[in-house]
Structure 1
Amino acid sequence: MTDVKSQEKADRLKAALKENLKRRKAQARGRQAVKVSGNQAESLSVSAERDKPSD
C-alpha cells in the first residue's frame, strides 16, 4: 500500500514539475520577446533622431 501511495505522489510531483517548467519557459520567452521588441523600438527612435534635419 505504501509503495502505491509513494508512486502516486511521485507521479503527481513529476507532473507538477513538468507544468512548472513549461510555465517558466513560456515566461522566459515572453520576457525575451519584450526585450527584443524594446531594443528594436530603441534603435528606431535613435535612427529617427539621427535622420532628422537640423535647424
Structure 2
Amino acid sequence: MDQNKPAPRKHKDAQREDRLKAALKANMGRRKAQAKARNMAEQSAQKSGPEAAQDKD
C-alpha cells in the first residue's frame, strides 16, 4: 500500500507544475504587453512633446 501513495503525489506535482508553467507564461505575456504599451506611449510622448510645445507659442 505504501507504494501506491507516491504515484498520486507525482501526478499531483505534475499538475501543479503544469499550472505554474501556464501561469508564468500568461504573466510573462501580460508583462511584455505592458512593457510594449509603455514603450509606445513614451515614444509617442517624445515625438509629440517638443513639437506640441512649439505649436502652442
* Both structures adopt the same fold (TM-score exceeding 0.5): yes
Q: Which runs of 5+ in 2 are unaligned?
A: 1-7
Displacement, 1:45? 2.4
CA RMSD of aligned residues (A): 1.5
Which of 29, 32, 44 pairs up with 1:25?
A: 32
TM-score normalised to the size of structure 2?
0.77
**1:36 aligns to 2:43 (yes or no):** yes
Displacement, 1:42? 1.1
Q: Which runs of 5+ in 1 are unaligned?
A: none
Paired residue total: 50
Runs ≥4 residues deviating over 4 A: none
Residues 7-49 of structure 1 show CA distances to partners (whole Å, capped at 9, x for unaligned) of 0000000000000000000000000000000001113125546
TM-score normalised to the size of structure 1?
0.80
